[in-house]
Structures are given as C-alpha cells and as structure tokens.
Amino acid sequence: MNKIKSFFVGIFLLMAIFAMVVLASLIYAACERSSVKSYIFQMENNSNQRVGMLQNLDDMSASDLRNKLIKKYVSEYFKVIPGDKDIENRPTLKTMSGANAFNYWKTNEAKTIAEMSEKKMFRIVRVRDDGIAIYNKTENDNDGGQEPESVYYKVRYYTSTWTESNVLEKEPLYDQGTMYLEIKFEPGLRKTIDGRNYDTRKYLESGKNPAGLFKFRVISIEDSIKK
C-alpha cells in the first residue's frame, strides 16, 4: 500500500515540476516579446500645440523660424526649475544673447528665478504666434530694401507658476506680460559660435540645444519702450 502511495506521490511531484518548467518558459518568452514604449510629456492640452513631426528647415519660412527662436529664447529667459543651484548656467540663453542682453537678464530676472527656485517653485512660459510683432525699426535701418541689421519685437508672454512642485492637486498661478527684444536675425546657421568654428554633428551629439546654431541674437531687452 505504501509503495502505491509513493508511486502516486512521485507522479504528482513530476507533474508539478513539469508545470513549473512550462510556466517559467512562458514567463521567459513573454519577457522576450515585451517592449517598452516611450512617451513625451505633453506641455500643452491642445493637440495642435504638442510636439509634432520633425520639420525640414528648407520648408520653414523665415518668419516662422524667427518666431520659434523667439519662443525658445523667452522660455529660457523665464523658466524656473525647483532647486536649481546654478541659475546663471544657461548656455542656450547665453548663446542666443548679446553681452548686454545676457547681463540684463543676470541683473534682473535671474535674481527672481533664484528666489523662486530656492522656494521649490516651478514656472513655464508660452508665447503665441500672434503675440510676436515688429514694434519698430532701429536707427541703423537702410533704405536699400534690405532687412535691417536689428529690429525691435514686441513679445506678449504667458506664465504658469506652481508655488509647490510635485503637488498634483495644486493649481498653477497664471500671469502675462510684455517685453521688447532687439534682435539680429538672418535665416541660416552660424559659421562660428563664440568666435570659434564648430562641427554641427558634434554640437548636437554633445546635447546642446539646436536653437544655438541659428543666426539669431538678442541684442538688448526692455520691459517697456519710452516714446
């Protein structure tokens, strides 16, 4: 009788082991077929304002390129990252700025950003296409029908500020303002950066922002224009 019991126990153990082997094989096969899908965090609620397909520079108008660069500049100018310890280390903003414009930012908005960042606040800014307009032309305009060397643009921007970061139920504070940017812009890529030749591929592979490659520079910044 004991032999019969041992026989059936052995059969049961073999079946259990076989079942575990099959289950392990299925789990392994499932892992082999699994894939990870990456998603980009959408900063906009409207689908037409989200990240889209890559655009060919040749298919982009000069005004569209200029507006995109202005938007990038204003974003770099106002953005606040919670706990940022090196506020003035903004290479994209520096590359897109002349010396006067960057110093103006350091002595004005950078101080506000430092205070907000220390309080763990988070701020982003948006500029709409209809919020960018040529304000007036500078004194070095010419009458030869060519594009002036620099132009003032009136830029209307909208900020969203979270007083507490990583708190989902906290609603942001909304604000808006206007700034005037004197800009030198010409469609195309720069030949040099900081007076030195560069390799486009190495520049991009190093993680630097593509906006710094274009012939775009903010010469001066004003919060208001005196007439």
Domain residue spans of the chain: 62-222
- What per-residue confidence (pLDDT) applies to 79? 94
Confidence category of residue 82, pLDDT binned at 50, 70, 90: very high
∠73-44-50 over CA atoms, to 5°?
80
Which has more pLDDT, 55 or 154?
154
- What per-residue confidence (pLDDT) applies to 37? 54
Residue 134 is given by DSSP the state: E
Weakest-pLDDT range from 51-65, 85-99, 115-129: 51-65
Region class of 195: left (phi > 0), else alpha (psi between -120 and 50), else beta: left
Q: 178-206 in b/e burial notation, b at 16+ Cβ within 10 A? A: ebbbbbbbeeeebeeeeeeebeeeeeeee
- In this predicted structure, the answer to whether residue 139 has a pLDDT above a threshold of 50 is no
Identify which of 46, 45, 64 has the alpha carbon closest to the alpha carbon of residue 55. 64
Other C-beta atoms closer than 10 Å to the C-beta of 158 total 14
- In this predicted structure, the answer to whether residue 38 has a pLDDT above a threshold of 50 is no
- What per-residue confidence (pLDDT) applies to 142? 45
Identify which of 83, 78, 86, 156 has the alpha carbon closest to the alpha carbon of residue 113. 78
- What's the pLDDT tens digit per position in 161-183? 999 877 767 889 999 999 999 99
Which has more pLDDT, 5 or 42?
5
Give the chain's mean pLDDT: 80
- What per-residue confidence (pLDDT) applies to 150? 84
- In this predicted structure, the answer to whether residue 91 has a pLDDT above a threshold of 60 is yes
Confidence category of residue 28, pLDDT binned at 50, 70, 90: low
Identify which of 131, 128, 124 has the alpha carbon closest to the alpha carbon of residue 76. 124
d(CA 216, CA 96): 6
Which has more pLDDT, 65 or 25?
65
- In this predicted structure, the answer to whether residue 220 has a pLDDT above a threshold of 90 is yes
Helices 109-118, 62-78: crossing angle, 10 deg rounding: 50
Question: What superfamily would CATH give domain 62-222?
Answer: VirB8 protein (3.10.450.230)
